[in-house]
Amino acid sequence: MLYKAGGLENMLTYLTEFGNVGLQERPFGEVDALVLCQFSYLQFGQNRVQGNTSFTIFQEQNTESLFQNPWYADFNRKIWSLFAEGTRFGRMPLLFYEEESDDEQTKQFAAITIQLSEHVYFLIFRGTDDQLIGWKEDLYLGLSRPTRGQLAAVSYTKKVMMELKKKDARAAFYLGGHSKGGNFAVYAAMQLPDEWQEYILQIYSMDGPGFRPEIRAAGGYEAIREKIVKIVPESSIIGLILETEPERSKVIKSHSRGLLQHNPANWIIERGEFVETEKIHLGSRLFQQTFNTWLYSLTEEQILFFVDTLFGVLEKTESKTLSGLQENWQTYVPVIGKECLAFGPEELSRLGNMLRQLLQVLREQHNSFDD
């Protein structure tokens, strides 16, 4: 049976077709990288991972806890079964699983390393899941200093590379992730010493946001620029935030529209490859220029005020997840409304100024596209 989403082929179809085809017969490629990035959303916190394979974990351990993220739960159950039981990925050793979430530090981080072959490893960083703290950290990417998660990605990468190079002088590495995980992968590679950057084969950013110019300038971005493979759907939103070189991205087709294209389960894969398209949709390009111009027009203090105000209101609901907000919205709307009505004149003025800046940028960008 071939799995399909919306009548079009996707990752599950790929795994049914090629899940028992070895890397020698079909070399590692971009779709494999996407499958591994999706794999990183599995939550192995209660499972014994180090040195085990997906197949042994699948056979010997209770794995229901892997699917705690409600956004991808059903899809990941199918991914896990095909991944673990297939010979392409199922016998690969899993290493260095880490997961940490800290509300006080505004930090959400998870990563796992998979040994692809005798000397090749893939360090995979998880993107944002259902936790509100992860979304708060996402908004902090607009600041000109690294987030706690980005710093954790650097520490993780250095630790894993050092450990593996001690055992195997020929060790080489892929880095990658979907969404924020792609940003973490690129940031970690940027911060490595020059000689360590040479050990990296490629860095995959699957619709991951970019970086402020200050962040890029402070790291070794130019040294790893040609190793970055950025893949975005044709109506990308997340992947164009803070992106300064959208023309370098591979643009692919998705069976969904708008923001739903960010979900990699919707990316079309035919005959084992992404289906490319010529360019990013006009609406996405307008969003990129408008949002990024507006973001650059804000001061650090304004960004912090906006993020902290927004999540200060949401924290009053005591919900820790977006799905929790959605499921109990009738309870939480009055709470959120009460907090917003409690804003003082100064808070309303500052929020109003930011909104006026956004409207001004929107008018300017709209006029430039008309021209």
- Quote the pTM value: 0.92
* Token digits of residue 290: 């408008």
Question: Tell me, what's the pLDDT at 3?
Answer: 45
Comparing 48-57, 108-117, 345-354, 359-368, the range with the smallest average pLDDT is: 359-368
Domains of the chain in start order, with CATH, are 4-281 (3.40.50), 298-370 (no CATH)
Q: Each residue of 27-40: pLDDT tens digit?
A: 999 999 999 999 99
CA distance 264 to 283: 20
**Residue whose entry in the numeric block shows the structure tokens 């079009």:** 8
Output the pLDDT for position 5: 46
Q: What rounded mean pLDDT belongs to the chain?
A: 89
Q: What is the pLDDT of residue 332?
A: 79
Q: How confident is the model at residue 369 (pLDDT cuts 50, 70, 90)?
A: low
* pLDDT per position as a tens digit, 143-179: 889 999 999 999 999 999 999 999 999 999 999 999 9
